[in-house]
Structure 1
Amino acid sequence: MSTHTGRKNSNNAFIRFTKHFFLLAFVILVFIIMIAAVKRQDFRTCAQTSFCRRNRAYADKAASSPYNVIEDTIKIEDGVISGELINSKNKIYFIFEIHLLINNVVRIRVNEKSPLKPRYDRVKDWSLIQEPIITLEYTENTVKDGFTSISFGIDRNHKVIIHHAPFRVELLDNDLPVITFNDRGFFNIEHLRKKDDPVNSQPDKLVIQSDDSADLISEEIQENIKEKQEDGSWEETFNGKKDSKPNGPESIGLDISFPGFGHVYGIPEHATSFSLKETRGGQGAYDEPYRLYNLDVFEYELDNPMALYGSIPFMMAHRKGASVAVLWLNSAETWIDVVKSKEDKHGLSSFLNFGKTTPISTHTHWFSESGIIDVFAFLGPTTSDIFKQYGSLTGFTALPQSFAIGYHQCRWNYLNQLDVAEVDAGFDKHDIPYDVIWLDIEHTDNKKYLTWDKTKFTDPEKMQRDIGRKGRKMVTIVDPHFKKDDNYYVYKEAKDLDILTKDNNDQVYDGWCWPGNSVWTDWTNPKAQDWWAKKFAFDQYKESTEFLFIWNDMNEPSVFTGPEITMHKDVIHYEGWEHRNIHNLFGMAYHAATAQGLINRTIPHRRPFVLSRAFFVGSQRFGAIWTGDNSVSWDHLAISSPMLLTIGISGLPFSGVRWYQTGAFQPFFRAHAHIDTKRREPWLFGEPHTSYIRDAIRQRYILLPFWYTLFQEASTDGMPIIRPMFVIFPNEEETFSMEDQYFVGNSLLVKPITSQGQTSTEIYFSRNEVFYDYYTFKKVKGSGKVKVIAPINKIPVFLRGGSIIPRRQRFRRSSLSMRSDPFTLLVALDKKGEATGSLYLDDGETYEYQKGHFIHRKFNFTSRKLLSTSFIDGQIIDKENNYIKSNQDLRVERIIIVGIDRAPKKIIGYYNDLTDDKKELEFSSGGTNYIGINIEEISKDVVIIRDPKLFISKDWTIEFVN
């Protein structure tokens, strides 16, 4: 007996040793992979993706679309045009609906009429915040002669024309086509079929153009194409990983053209140019389509349309006088081809003032692996209209807690509790403000999330409260995979609730990630959403506090042993849907549940902060994202601007990368370092670099009131926080492809320095505007492209004339410490001597602002008068816990007016309800620096009003007397 027990214990010890050995070997292997550059062979190309090959082949051969409207099925009722389509080649029927929505939006939906089983149509439930509202403002024009025409909108200046044979849809603005669907005949739906059905087992036949007529391809050619197309239709293998494809081919495709639009933008995330390049011919074109498929791509390649961490199938087109956009609402793997042509089939030249120049049109081809066609068209006509139209459907960005827009200090990994305390103290010692310190995966107990390594972090609650007393916060990483260990309570609960994803044999799906053998919860299951949100209660996430917030990484999802380092497509989710249908929204579903957990953990609720790496349509409602695992290189710094601009115009403005001077002027400001790098806390760089970093971070804090105001604007009307040049100057063609400079709001022009050793740069200044150096207030001489000196101690930033920017100029240790500080108003006058701006304030934590508990001021300088008035007329001030009443003593301590044409003899100020109590104010002209950066020269056309003794929440006027 004793011998048997000893042998058993010996065997168990050997098994444990072997298990740990292979686990260690695996971790080392993963680490080697992660620190190497991206391995392109780990990720599929279009040629290695059967549905991409098929749809591209369809586009190459198709010249006449076989999809026709059955005219006697057309109905127009309550703003919806509906009917049936038939594929004339295989006699398969489809249903279509065109919804005329409020605010100049059109929705097109196409599905099989009688599919063998339902096609996935749940994306709308995740991405849309409400059922889109249909307009009744329309007029039927005709339903005959081969087309159906309807005018819609209040002024009936928009029109939808449905061509019956073949099916084609045109959207017009003032009788000019702006978007056309199936203009090139690429519309294609692979109907669901039985594998053994001799009639329907093959992909749909193709047609080619021959003597101006569409004929069936010859038997021999048809067989060759059939063989090429069938490869991968029912089963596909990549790098030894098999995809079983039980439903066979089920892809959808549609071409969308933008006549007269030479530039298109959007479809993040790609490390590519802001104005999208062509993918099938053209100067500098890619040889691959843009791919949307959330993937973990470490140190990704630049200038490449390969898929990255997030996917937003939104595209905007812009030309002089018009902007339009489309949203392809599909969460399956999607590819987009982009081509441009000089053509004038719609006779646009004379209408668009192109003269003898033929306008450039952009044609796109969208195809997804599964689902239905569900496309929104946003008709603008301006970019700001589109941002509001898009946000009204998918939700505006969530207003974050105010600390979230401060500076974040992050590393993989801070070693232990003492290390955290020393880093925190280091910021105080070197007078550098910061708001958040982050802990990566090493803080956990053996990579088990929602736990602590108690050897390294002996008292996590005390650690959080110590930094919390300074107004600071902590973020811990919580990934979506769970260690497969019955002693791990999170895994065991998920298993017992039966909310884990299953493989195609109905067994719990497992794979490898940071903890080793891991499982993934099915975040599309409502039960899983509810369970996960409860895990962030303080009695569930042990030793967490109200000072702790969350980082969701690896949520593409990343599966080290999966195909393309992600989940197998035939994994089964809630209600039997395959992973292929929901892949791109998986990370967002996890992000949503985490954010809800942070909201629920306190009463009254406080706003969450959750950073996510994966994202999709609607992610803006749940928190911030970042551009993933870039490398510390000048090239990656340069690409950060077009990437963030692209993400911002696609409805997700709270984003950022890992830099100091550039990061200080991006929405999300975090420094992060890989585990194998040297420590990078700001003071370790040594002088003068530590001072440069300190100055960059301080500039961020000076402008926090301005940034917070921009976030409030984004949360109500969808405007990006950093804005492309063409958004500010929509009729200046020089700006249409500009990506290396941008605006923060409408007021600050920023040009990051992205080359080593660079001490000057060229900046484009609009010919119709006046600009001032942000640091010296000197007026910029010249317009167009102007050479600007850019020393290492500053990033080029310029004030746009006509702007009023609120600032707080006292240096504190964190944003919370600044809440009672007075304000400086920076007024930059335009050529007319005018300027406008605003300031939004609330408690920065709760949802009390939704009850009207906020301060929102509008500033206007005109006729040599500066007025402060309420942004909202008749704002209610209730008796309990009103933000205005509790902050009545917030005051303006300084007003700086830049670009004044002549110094006043005196300046008087008064409250608008006390006009008899006018006071003469103290002021000076030029020569003094009040910015916080050591710059010697200040422009002389500056007037500085000191301590006007005016409260920020009241209506007041300041007059310049000649």
Structure 2
Amino acid sequence: MKISHQLLDVAYGTSRLDLVTDAAKFRIVLLNDEIVRIRCTFEEDFPEEASYALVLTAWEDKMDALVPDRKRIEPIPAQYEDLGTHLLLSTRKLRVLVHKEPFAIEITDADGNVLHADLQGKPYVRDALGRLYHYSCMHDQDHFYGFGEKSGYLNKKHRRMRMHNVDTIGYDSELTDPLYKHIPFYIKFNSESQIASGLFYHNAHDSVFDMGCERSGYWNKYSYFCADGGELDVFFIYGPQIKDVVRHYTDLTGKTVLPTKYSLGYMGSTMYYTELDRDSDKAILGFLDRCREEGIPCDGFFLSSGYTTGQDGKRYVFNWNGDRFGNPQRFVEQMEEKGAALVPNIKPGMLTTHPLYKKFDEAGAYIRDGSGEQSHIDRYWGGPASFVDFTNPKGRELWKKHLKDSLVSLGITSIWNDNNEYEINDARALCHFEGSPKTIDGLRPIMPNLMAQMAKEAIEEVYPDTRPYIVNRAGFAGIQRYAQTWAGDNNTSWKSLKFNIPVILGMGLSGVANQGCDISGFFGPAPEPELFVRWVQNGIFQPRFSIHSCNTDNTVTEPWMYPAYTRYIRDAIRLRYRLVPYFYSLLYEASTEGSPVMRPLVYEFQSDDRVKDESFDFMLGPYILVANVLEKGAKTREVYLPKGAEWLDWNTKERYAGGQTIRLDVSLESIPMFIRSGAIVPMAPHLMNIRQDPVEELHLLIEPSEETRFVVYDDDGTSNNYKQGEYLKTTISIKNGKDTRISFANEGNYRTKLKTVRLDVLCKEVAPVEVRLQDKKLPMFLDPNQWESAGEGWYYDMEQKAAKIKYSYRREDYEVRMKFDVKDLISI
């Protein structure tokens, strides 16, 4: 065992500080004012810089040409002071202390608050098996969030979690570990200092996080990270707000790719249809027709892998089953005519009986065995298979060729990457690694990221003006740059409904803003009616909204499966569609700031001690609190409303002070939602199909008691023209006082189809006495029917306590001004 105890030597270079200890070598880089990189190796020298994950670097990297949008910056000079017992490096916001003996690294803010401290005595360790450990001090006030896709409650304190991609069909969303994603990053929030920071371990080997589960009386309380190999390459990320940590982490690993707008629609799916003996295409087209008959919006269909089944019943990627899909080209065209995207399932493992197996094998496109002489064969879904090596240019190009030939050439621009966990059981299996062979154990979670990147590239090479829509099951840090993700094959149960929420929230805090879970449960018997309704009512708030199932009782989960309950399903999905402009604006924010769409309450209300462990109620963006009914047979629902804001019931507009728990009566139609003071929520009131229905009326729900701003984002939703300025960003700002001013500032060249703007301005105490659009006084109506038929004007809704304002859309910047002087009717 090797442990760094003593600092022996220091070498200063302008961009880095190199340290030599009695056990390991270290390299410190001040990447910027908020991010510090600490590399540790127990070898003679540091390995070559070769990262598929980072998009922000300050050094030359082997993968520079392979990582789109990578940015190289100049680091802060690593000048240091020798203060006797320790060295000191500084940025404008951070202080890095290198203690000489016992050796340890400590990081504080400019005020001296300790943000991170290595455990002195055993900070960096390599054991006899070659495993690497990094031990950190922890405190009673610390809370830990993130870790990618992890089961259980939001706060992972006192948890031990394994990082490893695995196909966990029917998992327990409270207890199963690991799941599909491998994202070695977490946020530490100290509730006493109110400061958040993060650690990202740039290491793709299997690893373990122990967040205080282990305890020894010989040491202060600690947590640790342990990796099976590689190096300890640690990025410290400063807040002080949780949202700052997420923003800086996504500066490092990439922002969420701006998705197609239609991906926010209801995406139909089930394995059942593609397992029919014949005419699966007709069943899917019939599904879309039935959606329309039932008044249920639908914008696409996830095509399960049964469409690839060969005569022997095995799945063969890139193969269309002619009995189930007689004319794939015509089928894709019919889907398009009905306003639905087709998202076919593909898998990177190719069975040894696959018609294309030999072609890939002879090209050397598979991961090799330990000798490097032949393709590695392992267990897979359906039998023995070899896995495409996406670190090999031959594997990438051959994969893209057949992806284009079999799918993209038909007009398909959406791809579903499934079963891509790369569960290869021989750690000696060799990957090409761009010409420098490396074993799979250090690259396993990278493969699904590269698979997503290849799908994106294949579509863009055939249709350069079209925005790809990629969905991934597995992934590593940075998967958000390429794909939407989902939480795999969940179990059909009330527990899954509940605990999938913190699974998704944890992903959002780990940089993956665009994700969800299979609504109604994937594996198990058909959901009972009440569970089905509650799951849809919850699922409409997830960026990925798809009812997807593989029922174990010979049934198929469909929106109308329980006719007496279909109205609840319809109403929930229509609410989702009303919120599409809000969702799309939030995903634009994710693409620029890294912000989650579904946000734990602690993300927005960090100073409220009562929300630090809340796992099930969440914020949709900054303005809507969602408190879904998650218990069977519930008649009431308790909701804690965070302090720091006032809250309005979504339906009744009843006001509540923050910092209190309220109890609501609930029925089967209830979707408890609350509007935050200062809210600006854009909606589309009549939207039924995102691909085909032009949005001609923008409905803005505004609570103006706080001065806030929100960017409503729009573009054509399907092309890459937004990169050339064809977008519309409308910054809406609220200023209040004696008058309330709502200003609109537009940017971009996108020609919107909007004709009408409607504002519902929630009034706290009195109704307005006058409303002006720029300098024009708008007519006031007492009769809402007259207002409805008028082109512009306003009236006051007594029941909702809202001024309802309507006018024609204006492209130029403008302002709506509301006067709240109380008119003295008696003296008149």
Q: TM-score, normalised by structure 1?
A: 0.75
Q: Which residue identity lines up with residue 169 of structure 2 in the other structure?
A: F
Q: Give, in whole Å, the separation in 1 of the partners of 2:152 and 2:408.
A: 43
Equivalent pair of 2:642/2:658 in contact (CA under 8 Å): no
Q: Give, in whole Å, the separation in 2 of the partners of 1:533 and 1:525.
A: 12
**Pairing partner for 2:156 from 268, 271, 276:** 276
- Distance change (3 Å), C-alpha of 1:161 and 1:700: same
Q: Which residue identity lines up with residue 589 of structure 1 in the other structure?
A: L
Q: Give, in whole Å, the separation in 2 of the partners of 1:162 and 1:664.
A: 49
Equivalent pair of 2:40/2:231 in contact (CA under 8 Å): yes
How far apart are residue 946 of structure 1 and its match? 4.6
How far apart are residue 636 of structure 1 and its match? 0.8
- Distance change (3 Å), C-alpha of 1:374 and 1:926: farther
1:521: which partner in 2?
Answer: 388
2:595: which partner in 1?
Answer: 719
Name the stretch that deviates more: 144-153 or 941-950. Answer: 941-950
1:264: which partner in 2?
Answer: 144
1:451: which partner in 2?
Answer: 319
2:66: which partner in 1?
Answer: none
Q: Give, in whole Å, the separation in 1 of the partners of 2:185 and 2:811.
A: 40
- Distance change (3 Å), C-alpha of 1:787 and 1:145: same
How far apart are residue 676 of structure 1 and its match? 3.4
2:94: which partner in 1?
Answer: 158
How far apart are residue 125 of structure 1 and its match? 3.1
How far apart are residue 953 of structure 1 and its match? 6.0
2:695: which partner in 1?
Answer: 820
Does 2:498 correspond to 1:646? Answer: no
Deviations 1:381-411 (A, max 9, x none): 1122212211111110000000111111110
Q: Give, in whole Å, the separation in 2 of the partners of 1:465 and 1:139.
A: 59
Q: How does 1:50-61 map to 2 (within 5 A)?
A: none
> Percent same amino acid among aligned pairs?
22
Q: How does 1:380-419 map to 2 (within 5 A)?
A: 380-414=239-273, 415=276, 416-419=280-283
Q: Which residue identity lines up with residue 570 of structure 1 in the other structure?
A: R
How far apart are residue 170 of structure 1 and its match? 0.3
**Pairing partner for 1:102 from 23, 32, 44:** 32
Segments of 5+ residues of structure 1 without an aligned counterpart are 1-57, 88-93, 191-202, 204-248, 280-288, 347-360, 559-565, 876-881, 931-936
**Pairing partner for 1:482 from 343, 350, 361:** 350
**Pairing partner for 1:494 from 360, 364, 367:** 360
> What's the RMSD between the two structures over aligned residues?
2.9
Which of structures 1 and 2 has the bigger CA Rg? 1
Equivalent pair of 1:927/1:940 in contact (CA under 8 Å): no
How far apart are residue 926 of structure 1 and its match? 9.4
How far apart are residue 158 of structure 1 and its match? 1.7
1:850: which partner in 2?
Answer: 723
Deviations 1:349-392 (A, max 9, x none): xxxxxxxxxxxx97321110110110000011112221221111
Equivalent pair of 2:17/2:78 in contact (CA under 8 Å): no
1:255: which partner in 2?
Answer: 135
How far apart are residue 940 of structure 1 and its match? 3.0
Q: Give, in whole Å, the separation in 2 of the partners of 1:482 and 1:379.
A: 43
**Pairing partner for 1:297 from 165, 168, 176:** 168
How far apart are residue 183 of structure 1 and its match? 3.2
Equivalent pair of 1:749/1:798 in contact (CA under 8 Å): yes
Does 2:333 correspond to 1:465? Answer: yes
Q: How does 1:586-665 map to 2 (within 5 A)?
A: 586-604=447-465, 606-659=466-519, 660-665=536-541
2:531: which partner in 1?
Answer: none
Equivalent pair of 2:117/2:136 in contact (CA under 8 Å): yes
- Distance change (3 Å), C-alpha of 1:900 and 1:408: same
- Distance change (3 Å), C-alpha of 1:268 and 1:961: closer
2:53: which partner in 1?
Answer: 126
Q: Give, in whole Å, the separation in 1 of the partners of 2:77 and 2:115.
A: 18
Q: Give, in whole Å, the separation in 1 of the partners of 2:626 and 2:785.
A: 24
Q: Give, in whole Å, the separation in 1 of the partners of 2:161 and 2:82.
A: 38
Q: Give, in whole Å, the separation in 1 of the partners of 2:130 and 2:517.
A: 37
Q: How does 1:314-329 map to 2 (within 5 A)?
A: 314-320=185-191, 321-329=194-202
- Distance change (3 Å), C-alpha of 1:493 and 1:776: farther
Q: Give, in whole Å, the separation in 2 of the partners of 1:871 and 1:371.
A: 49
Q: Give, in whole Å, the separation in 2 of the partners of 1:120 and 1:337.
A: 29
Equivalent pair of 1:119/1:370 in contact (CA under 8 Å): no
**SS of alignment partner, residue 637 of structure 1:** helix
How far apart are residue 851 of structure 1 and its match? 1.6
Q: Give, in whole Å, the separation in 1 of the partners of 2:131 and 2:798.
A: 62
Equivalent pair of 2:172/2:491 in contact (CA under 8 Å): no
Q: Give, in whole Å, the separation in 2 of the partners of 1:927 and 1:338.
A: 61
**SS of alignment partner, residue 746 of structure 1:** coil
Equivalent pair of 1:809/1:823 in contact (CA under 8 Å): yes
Q: Which residue identity lines up with residue 187 of structure 1 in the other structure?
A: Y
**Pairing partner for 2:679 from 803, 813, 819:** 803
Name the stretch that deviates more: 97-106 or 588-597. Answer: 588-597
**SS of alignment partner, residue 126 of structure 1:** coil
- Distance change (3 Å), C-alpha of 1:953 and 1:513: farther
- Distance change (3 Å), C-alpha of 1:188 and 1:732: same
**SS of alignment partner, residue 98 of structure 2:** strand
Q: Give, in whole Å, the separation in 1 of the partners of 2:74 and 2:678.
A: 37
How far apart are residue 439 of structure 1 and its match? 1.6
Q: Give, in whole Å, the separation in 1 of the partners of 2:87 and 2:588.
A: 43
**Pairing partner for 2:205 from 300, 322, 332:** 332
2:572: which partner in 1?
Answer: 696
How far apart are residue 532 of structure 1 and its match? 2.2
How far apart are residue 542 of structure 1 and its match? 5.3
Q: Give, in whole Å, the separation in 2 of the partners of 1:475 and 1:905.
A: 52
How far apart are residue 777 of structure 1 and its match? 1.9
Q: Give, in whole Å, the separation in 2 of the partners of 1:449 and 1:342.
A: 48
**Pairing partner for 1:369 from 204, 228, 232:** 228
How far apart are residue 908 of structure 1 and its match? 2.1
- Distance change (3 Å), C-alpha of 1:329 and 1:541: same
Q: Which residue identity lines up with residue 826 of structure 1 in the other structure?
A: L
Q: Give, in whole Å, the separation in 2 of the partners of 1:757 and 1:946.
A: 40
- Distance change (3 Å), C-alpha of 1:542 and 1:712: closer
Deviations 1:681-719 (A, max 9, x none): 1112112x1010001100110000000000000000111
2:756: which partner in 1?
Answer: 892
Equivalent pair of 1:141/1:151 in contact (CA under 8 Å): yes
2:606: which partner in 1?
Answer: 730
**SS of alignment partner, residue 476 of structure 2:** coil
2:82: which partner in 1?
Answer: 143
Does 2:595 correspond to 1:681? Answer: no
Q: Give, in whole Å, the separation in 1 of the partners of 2:478 and 2:515.
A: 14
Segments of 5+ residues of structure 2 without an aligned counterpart are 60-71, 520-535, 789-795, 822-828
1:551: which partner in 2?
Answer: 416
Q: Give, in whole Å, the separation in 2 of the partners of 1:769 and 1:816.
A: 37
**SS of alignment partner, residue 816 of structure 2:** strand
**SS of alignment partner, residue 315 of structure 1:** strand
How far apart are residue 853 of structure 1 and its match? 1.2
Equivalent pair of 1:927/1:938 in contact (CA under 8 Å): no
Equivalent pair of 2:590/2:596 in contact (CA under 8 Å): yes
Does 2:185 correspond to 1:307? Answer: no
- Distance change (3 Å), C-alpha of 1:923 and 1:372: farther
1:435: which partner in 2?
Answer: 299
Does 2:429 correspond to 1:571? Answer: yes
How far apart are residue 518 of structure 1 and its match? 1.9
Q: Give, in whole Å, the separation in 2 of the partners of 1:542 and 1:640.
A: 32
**SS of alignment partner, residue 778 of structure 2:** strand
Q: TM-score, normalised by structure 2?
A: 0.87
Equivalent pair of 2:456/2:470 in contact (CA under 8 Å): yes
